[in-house]
A = this chain, B = another copy of it.
Amino acid sequence: MSGNSYGKLFSISTFGESHGPALGCVIDGCPPGIELSEADLQEDLDRRKPGTSRHTTQRREDDIVQILSGVFEGKTTGTSIGLLIQNTDQRSKDYSNIADTFRPAHADYVYTHKYGFRDYRGGGRSSARETAMRVAAGGIAKKFLASKGVTIRGYLSQLGPLKIDDSKFDWDQVNQNPFFSPDADIVPEMERYMDALRKEGDSIGAKITVVAEGVPVGLGEPIFDRLDAELAHALMSINAVKGIEIGDGFAVVEQKGTQHRDEMTPEGFCSNHAGGILGGISTGQAITASIALKPTSSLRLPGRSINAKGEAIEVITQGRHDPCVGIRATPIAEAMMAIVLMDHYLRHRAQNADVVCDTPVLKG
């Protein structure tokens, strides 16, 4: 596979560019008998789609997904599932002017060198537009995992300098504001920050956290396909991500063993510094992962760059962009975590379906 597929047993293979006619996906390995309809996938697509608030790109895409195969009489058949989303609002002319220029910190320069030329319309394949298909595919994984008692949720943990206040954490707030913030009180501040940023013409980074609850103990395939390693792969493959943390993440550098180790008692684990993964295998506790997303480089403010001939130019990016790409990343991160967990659920039972273990399972 050359990079457009992910997963070993539950696998997705996607296609589609920012300004092509459509995005598509082949999903292979989905167990049969799961009730599935387009509506199941549309919910997360609507959470991700652009233009839902003034703080995201004003591009208008309904992102309506069609299921073209693999579902019969309302249930998955066990054969491959084909998904399609038509692109409706493309406005290629916005981009014709950048055909021969390389936007700083975008993929323009590397795509040109790797492939010899590039689809310059809105970044082509390198655009985060493709993540719509990840969200649609992730919806199938979420449906399967829900039938196994696993739930996956994410939230914005930091927007630039603005950190959420854990004492005000409320899952019910996450989908009540345009930022996926679980802290309702900080939302007005975020609104003001983003409005100022937009006027300024600049962009900002963000931090997203995703949490999986109800994951059984045992998922993950050492030594290379540890669950944390696969999560790192899947989350780092999302556009603009520059860092990954599992559990305490980089805080462990200054922790002592007595402080970090999660002690166990017959009543359960005493803490969860590990983020629900030990030795690359799920412990049964909540799995927590955080990602750092860089600020977009599509800015109205001029930047130095070169053109295809290697000559110095000044770049100003017009068009419609997210001043904080992190905002819409929450459902994408949830989708990738769901795909990894479903894949590993299947991989685990393939090898270990016959295992009998008398040791009691501890509470998280």
Report the nearest B residue to A235, measured CB to CB. B232
Among B130, B256, B298, B353, contact of A203 (Cβ-Cβ < 8 Å):
B256
User: How close is A111's CB to chain B, nearest CB, in angstroms?
Assistant: 7
Among B28, B236, B261, B353, contact of A3 (Cβ-Cβ < 8 Å):
B28
B-binding segment of A44-52, A54-62, A220-228: A220-228
The answer, yes or no, to whether A90 is at the interface (CB within 8 Å) is no
Q: A353 to B81, alpha carbons, bound, how many Å?
A: 19
> Would you give the 0/1 interface string for A18-30, flagging 1 where the beta carbon is closer than 8 Å to chain B?
0011111110111
Among B79, B204, B304, contact of A222 (Cβ-Cβ < 8 Å):
B79
Chain B residues near A172: list those with CB within 8 A: none
Chain B residues near A257: list those with CB within 8 A: 105, 202-204, 295-299, 301
Q: In the assembly, how many copies of this chain are there?
A: 4
Q: A310 to B353, alpha carbons, bound, how many Å?
A: 22
Among B111, B247, B253, contact of A279 (Cβ-Cβ < 8 Å):
B111
Q: A217 to B108, alpha carbons, bound, how many Å?
A: 12
Q: A23 to B257, alpha carbons, bound, how many Å?
A: 28
Chain B residues near A362: list those with CB within 8 A: 109, 306, 310
Q: A222 to B106, alpha carbons, bound, how many Å?
A: 14
Q: A360 to B310, alpha carbons, bound, how many Å?
A: 6
Q: A248-B242, A250-B243, A353-B353 are in contact. Are A70 and B15 (CB under 8 A)?
A: yes
The answer, yes or no, to whether A233 is at the interface (CB within 8 Å) is yes
A110 touches B4 (CB 8 A): no
A14 touches B80 (CB 8 A): yes
Q: A21 to B218, alpha carbons, bound, how many Å?
A: 27
> Would you give the 0/1 interface string for A74-87, flagging 1 where the beta carbon is closer than 8 Å to chain B?
01011111101000
The answer, yes or no, to whether A117 is at the interface (CB within 8 Å) is yes
Report the nearest B residue to A339, measured CB to CB. B224
A236 touches B243 (CB 8 A): no
User: How close is A232's CB to chain B, nearest CB, in angstroms?
Assistant: 4
16 residue pairs of the A-B complex, CB under 8 angstroms, read A2-B10, A9-B351, A21-B66, A21-B68, A109-B217, A109-B278, A114-B352, A206-B253, A243-B250, A257-B298, A257-B299, A258-B303, A274-B294, A306-B362, A308-B359, A353-B353
